[in-house]
Structure 1
Amino acid sequence: MCAASLTFSGLLVTGLIAAQPAAAADPAGYQNVRINEVTSSGNDTVELYNGGSTAVSISGWKMADDGFSPQSFSPSASSIPAGGFVTFNSPKGLGDSDKLVIYTSGGTVVDRVDWATDRAKPAMARCGGDGTGAWVTATTAATFGSANAAGCPAGVPAASKVVVNEVGSDGSDTVELYNGGTSAVSIGSWKYVDGDTSHSAASVSSSSPSATSIPAGGYVTFNSTLGLGDNDSLFLVDGSGNTVDSATWATNGAKPSDERCATGFQTSASATFGAVNSCSGSTPGGGTGGGTGGGTTGQLLGGGGSLTSGCTPEAPGGTGAAPSGTQTWPGGPDVTVADNVCAFTTSTGPEGRDLSGLAFDPANPSVLWAAKNKNWLYKLVKSNGKWVPDATWSATGKQIRFAGGTGQPDAEGLTVGGNGHLYVTSERDNGNNTVPKDTVMEFDPAATGSTLTPLHQWDMTAQFPQLDTGSKDDANLGFEGVGFVPDSWLTANGWVNPLTGAAYDPANYPLHGNGLFFAGLEYDGTLHVYGLNSDGSFTTFGTVSTGKPGVMDVTYDAGTQRIVATCDNTCGETHTFLKVNASGAIVPDVTYTNPAVMPVDNLEGFALAPTSTCANGFREAVWSDDGIYGFGSGTSSYGHALYSGTFPC
């Protein structure tokens, strides 16, 4: 394929163009390098950004302008670190109505951007996040060598929420677009072109006459009239010629399809055009996307569906600020809606909401356990990228009772103990919801029947007289989460037993099993530490401060070797990781926010997949919303309880 100009008005096509077969000299990860900022205002500076997870060598790379005559340049460094920048001054003058093409040393086109008169003055920057999103002429100072200015500038095109979501080069050459925004986007004048630069752009509407707009949270599919092959690309531009998004793939990468997932594009085992991507059991397909991959601004993907009868979303309440020093989410910026709409309706009320505590099964990371208010448990497994009830356990969940088979536990927190049993916390009996009943119940998940009763039950209600005021609201501020913490971690890290002032010795508590339970109190954000004995008694080891006004879920994460205390919008949607300090006390170490694309709701459940599931340096993180409100009525997240993202290994 030879290089040629793609003629549109205004700002033209940018993206990864497979202009010729990749040479052996092409460095690993070159597809993750993007032109990030350009100026034709005198010094003709260019900035490259690496959105991948490893450094990329750019030794011997070249550039060209509208003459398509590659020429060497002198970068500020010979390689670009992961998430880093390299700048250079163009050896050729960059003018108005010009273009910039970056090549590897083997001649493969890495990225390209075209612009019209004055579009690169004073500078032009990607404004969907570094390495991603729409190009906009900067109205503020250039940011070469550092992250693009937040909101650079205000007024990023609404079209930047539309992404190329799935591409198939297996005969039908199908393309799927997804609108992750909160309003419909008109696409009647949009065009697309493949990686063959001899092709003229085709209009989306000519390929799919009914595709005049994409609803919020919706899809549009069309069959490419240009043909899509191996080592090919797809570029999408709006009616003014501004780049919207792009995707590129290697040999067989789009067969049967290449779909956008939280960690980038992946080859799909089966196409899912017009529906939520599967992102399950797939392998990397060599694709990178211009809309989200590697950037600081992500997309909320998937969702949709109609609310069913008896499903009543509940708006969030109690929003507060994040703790001082909170850091941004360290995982990927993209999040996927990970359940079917209104999936957790039960016979005990018209909620269809209230999914709360979450815990991965350490013995089987493909299983996610979930607790639902109004006394239900679910065993969830992945199906087409969503977490759904395991029909072999119960397609509709199992109801739980207090000891003796009575009452309606207000199930909030859940963890898996060292014996493989489920330990569930309850704040009160929903049959008498003005009175607190702060208990931990042990259930055997292998027990048969549709209703489970506890093998043991420990009642700590008397420890919290401040909750017993006769108010159902106060009674609802008890045990909201619980996490099992192995004795091995406590001893290896030198935890000092608050009862003795000496190093914790598990042998002194022979009936407690092989770990302690940290129950989170919503009332004040403290963790209460218990040894749960096999004779029904318990040992109280005191409290741990999380530094937050509330706790909604607690988990022990072996990957980070930390206890994680999660708080919803009450504390700014944050997760505090706690460690044992040099004095033997458990203290906060670092606090992270949720990914920026997530709604600010009562997200009460949080779980991190074990590191045994790691792929490409990341593992899954899952959140649950006890109100299934999402971004509100009419959005793609409305009616959904589960969200899936990524966290570093």
Structure 2
Amino acid sequence: MRCFWRSGGQRAGFRWGTRGFKVLSGEFGPVPTTHSRARVATLCVAALSVPGLVVTGMLAAQPAAAADPAGYQNVRINEVTSSGDDTVELYNTGSTAVSISGWKMSDDSFSAKSFSPSAGTIQPGGFVTFDSPKGLGDSDKLVIYTSGGTVVDRVEWATDKAKPAMARCGGDGTGAWVTATAKATFGAPNAAGCPASLPAASKVRINEVTSNGSDTVELYNGGTSAVSVGAWKYVDGDTGHSAAKISSSDPSATSIPAGGYVTFDSTIGLGDNDSAFLLDGNGNTVDSVTWATDAAKPSDERCADGTGWFRTAATATLGSANSCSGGGGSTGGTGGQPGQLLGGGGSLTSGCEPEAPSGSHSAPSGTLAWPGGQDVTIADNVCAFTTSTGPEGRDVSGLAYDPSNPSVLWAVKNKNWLFKLTKSNGKWIPDPSWSATGKQIRFSGGSGEPDSEGVTVGGNGHLYVTSERDNTKNSAPKDTILEYDPAATGSTLTPLHQWDMTSQFPQLNTGDKDDANLGFEGVGYVPDSWLTGNGWTDPLTGAAYDPADYPLHGSGLYFAGLEWDGTLHVYGLNSNGTFTTFGTVATGKSSVMDVTFDAGTQRIVATCDNTCGETHTFMKVDAAGAIVPDVTYTNPAVMPADNLEGFALAPASTCVDGSREAVWSDDGIYGFGSKTSSSGHAIYSGTFPC
């Protein structure tokens, strides 16, 4: 719709575009550059009553465009090739499926055309591919639109940059755009095509945007060296706009120091339901962000700087560190969320009850930064662990990969539930062939409700679960390790063996349920071969550990983590129901929430949640034969400081390009708080070096 008027020699007007009304020319008082359809219709009608103004044309209202599907902003171009089939891959970073029926695409030379995708709906964490209806060139542009004409995402590349493919690296749907170093990976994660090292420019991120007045864009350099941006350009979601140079918007914005910021005011205007695309001096897309109505008011910011997902901020912090003081907001082109990027937009789906974290403390001295990727994704469906017992959906605690099948992840929920999880479209979901809703576990005799906190897979393939209480008598401790056969049928499992160590911890038996809740929190199976191969000294004999001295214990020992004081308690679990106590191991932490043995690093890993600053201590056998802390890492900075009680590292056999999966579980499904996209989710996924 257009509206023009004349006043003397002045001609003014507005045009309705895909993002709202824009001033075309002239003046009609202090008119902002972008208005809603209703607001400009009001201005046009108002013009009829202004003396001296003659309305020269007002087009009839057009039929309303098709509504954009829910979650469309979470769909991102993930990979594209201009070599051969001119194939495009889309990826859904969100937690819900998105219909792409009627969507279109264009390049830099033809108008939007329909395409034929491999599926009409993109599942959460899923891929859809299609061949471009028109060829894609060596130096070209690709724009994706909803059926209503809204720009979803776009990418541009210079000569040969899309051969064999141009792909996001460092997180499907979100990582930095780079030229693939191997063959294209259409329909699958991009990691196999990522180069060994990323260019310095790829560390620059759109960090904050505001469409509230000044239409300002902030860039952040998360790299270790300065990046020149004087020749870089930016453009909004209006495909009729030409890209503008950053330096023309702000002559001082020529270089971003390492860890520094550059801001500039957009000369092409930013509106509601808009986008910002950042291009380097060669025309390659560097980063992008798309936001909904009012999401960039007062601003839309990453949390944390340069790495996190975008959220609507309570206060703009242009030129300085983001406040992370707002709620969920939009999509962006950095790190994380094969599934859904941490901190993303959206509100909590009803049906489960988050529990805010408690007991946050700083990390131990000497703690190192997370050595893996800084991108983390939400890796389960919202409210996925809702069961018939206990607070809805909460209390997912221990995690353990199955060493015989690393595509299986075992999880325990405190209120006596065991889950077998498998991957589907990038998410860990309950395996429907085992139980789509988990299986209840009991103590020996089929009674009680184990307060199941930790889980590990023993050398015999059975599951060993720690419990600190019986939830039917939660003021009394019941520190036990229970053995279950995962092949057993039925919806309720009873233990093959049960070892009760409660009498060893009188400090927990005070009649106070809080004390009783500080017992066995995690457990890890440690093979005898590692203990003997590293020269562990048997505390019972003072000599080198000899498994033959304990003929009923199986092929390894079990290290149970005590939340009370952060110690590991070492046991041989005998087949006759007795156990051997090998003493304690100090972790240097005030608490332990999970324990795992990682064959990749050849270390025992003791994990603590926000009680110890979200840290993981890797334990080794020292020259004296004692198990001691080796190194402690924090979580990736983008993660929330919650009761993240479960932690596991994928076996080294799953390594791709030097990385493997790391997973965390949130005991309180709190995420970044109420109505953020992470609220209601329990499982997070990241990467760890091989």
Calculate the aligned-residue CA RMSD, in Å. Answer: 4.3
Aligned counterparts, 1:178-257, within 5 A? 187-188=272-273, 190=275, 212-214=293-295
CA distances 1:94-126 after superposition (whole Å, capped 9, x unpaired): 9xxx5269xxxxxxxxxx9742376446x631x
Compared CA separation, residues 156 and 351, structure 1 to 2 (3 A): farther
Question: Aligned pair 1:488/2:529, yes or no?
Answer: yes
- Matching residue within 389, 393, 407 for 2:434: 393
Question: What letter is aligned with 2:538?
Answer: N
The aligned residue for residue 361 of structure 1 is: 402
The two structures have a TM-score, normalised by structure 2, of 0.59
8 Å CA contact 1:204–1:211 kept in 2: the answer is no
8 Å CA contact 2:339–2:377 kept in 1: the answer is no
8 Å CA contact 1:516–1:531 kept in 2: the answer is yes
Aligned counterparts, 1:285-304, within 5 A? 300=342, 304=346
8 Å CA contact 1:556–1:564 kept in 2: the answer is yes
Compared CA separation, residues 197 and 449, structure 1 to 2 (3 A): same
The aligned residue for residue 196 of structure 2 is: 54
8 Å CA contact 2:289–2:333 kept in 1: the answer is no
Compared CA separation, residues 422 and 196, structure 1 to 2 (3 A): same
The aligned residue for residue 158 of structure 2 is: 19
Compared CA separation, residues 496 and 113, structure 1 to 2 (3 A): farther
Aligned counterparts, 1:488-527, within 5 A? 488-527=529-568
8 Å CA contact 1:576–1:588 kept in 2: the answer is yes
Question: Aligned pair 1:642/2:645, yes or no?
Answer: no
Q: Shift of the alpha carbon at 1:54?
A: 2.9
Cα distance between partner residues in 2 of 1:341 and 1:25: 37
Question: What letter is aligned with 1:456?
Answer: H
Cα distance between partner residues in 2 of 1:542 and 1:30: 46
Cα distance between partner residues in 2 of 1:465 and 1:634: 42
Q: Shift of the alpha carbon at 1:351?
A: 2.7
Question: What letter is aligned with 2:371?
Answer: P
The aligned residue for residue 415 of structure 1 is: 456
Cα distance between partner residues in 1 of 2:670 and 2:374: 21
Q: Secondary structure at the match of 1:404?
A: helix
Q: Secondary structure at the match of 2:530?
A: helix
Q: Secondary structure at the match of 2:507?
A: helix
Q: Secondary structure at the match of 1:645?
A: strand
8 Å CA contact 1:186–1:214 kept in 2: the answer is no
The aligned residue for residue 533 of structure 1 is: 574
8 Å CA contact 2:620–2:628 kept in 1: the answer is yes
Q: Secondary structure at the match of 1:462?
A: helix
The aligned residue for residue 447 of structure 2 is: 406
Could you list the runs of 5+ residues in structure 1 that have no partner in the other structure?
A: 5-14, 36-50, 59-82, 102-111, 126-142, 160-184, 220-241, 243-258, 264-275, 280-298
Compared CA separation, residues 543 and 54, structure 1 to 2 (3 A): same
Cα distance between partner residues in 2 of 1:482 and 1:158: 54
Compared CA separation, residues 24 and 392, structure 1 to 2 (3 A): closer
Question: What letter is aligned with 1:115?
Answer: S
Compared CA separation, residues 57 and 499, structure 1 to 2 (3 A): same
Compared CA separation, residues 23 and 597, structure 1 to 2 (3 A): closer
The aligned residue for residue 469 of structure 2 is: 428
Q: Secondary structure at the match of 2:489?
A: coil
The aligned residue for residue 179 of structure 1 is: none
Question: Aligned pair 1:542/2:583, yes or no?
Answer: yes
Compared CA separation, residues 478 and 33, structure 1 to 2 (3 A): closer
8 Å CA contact 1:302–1:636 kept in 2: the answer is yes
The aligned residue for residue 326 of structure 1 is: 367
Q: Shift of the alpha carbon at 1:18?
A: 2.6
Identical residues among aligned pairs (%): 65
Question: What letter is aligned with 1:540?
Answer: T
Compared CA separation, residues 415 and 2, structure 1 to 2 (3 A): closer
Q: Shift of the alpha carbon at 1:563?
A: 0.3
- Matching residue within 240, 243, 247 for 1:115: 247
Compared CA separation, residues 554 and 158, structure 1 to 2 (3 A): farther
Cα distance between partner residues in 2 of 1:34 and 1:637: 25
Compared CA separation, residues 304 and 33, structure 1 to 2 (3 A): closer
Question: What letter is aligned with 1:21?
Answer: D
The aligned residue for residue 583 of structure 1 is: 624
Cα distance between partner residues in 1 of 2:453 and 2:265: 39
Bigger radius of gyration, 1 or 2? 2
Q: Shift of the alpha carbon at 1:410?
A: 0.4
The aligned residue for residue 231 of structure 2 is: 99
Question: What letter is aligned with 2:536?
Answer: W
- Matching residue within 121, 124, 127 for 2:255: 124
Cα distance between partner residues in 1 of 2:640 and 2:434: 31
CA distances 1:357-396 after superposition (whole Å, capped 9, x unpaired): 0000000000000000110000001111111100110111
Q: Secondary structure at the match of 2:248?
A: coil
Compared CA separation, residues 368 and 260, structure 1 to 2 (3 A): farther
8 Å CA contact 2:232–2:280 kept in 1: the answer is no
Compared CA separation, residues 3 and 607, structure 1 to 2 (3 A): closer
Could you list the runs of 5+ residues in structure 2 that have no partner in the other structure?
A: 1-136, 141-153, 179-192, 201-222, 234-243, 301-317, 319-331
Q: Secondary structure at the match of 2:672?
A: coil
8 Å CA contact 2:605–2:616 kept in 1: the answer is yes
Compared CA separation, residues 56 and 602, structure 1 to 2 (3 A): closer
Compared CA separation, residues 551 and 433, structure 1 to 2 (3 A): same
8 Å CA contact 2:465–2:481 kept in 1: the answer is yes
Compared CA separation, residues 194 and 566, structure 1 to 2 (3 A): closer
Q: Secondary structure at the match of 2:418?
A: strand
CA distances 1:493-536 after superposition (whole Å, capped 9, x unpaired): 11011111111001111100000000000000000000000000
Aligned counterparts, 1:603-618, within 5 A? 603-618=644-659
The aligned residue for residue 496 of structure 2 is: 455
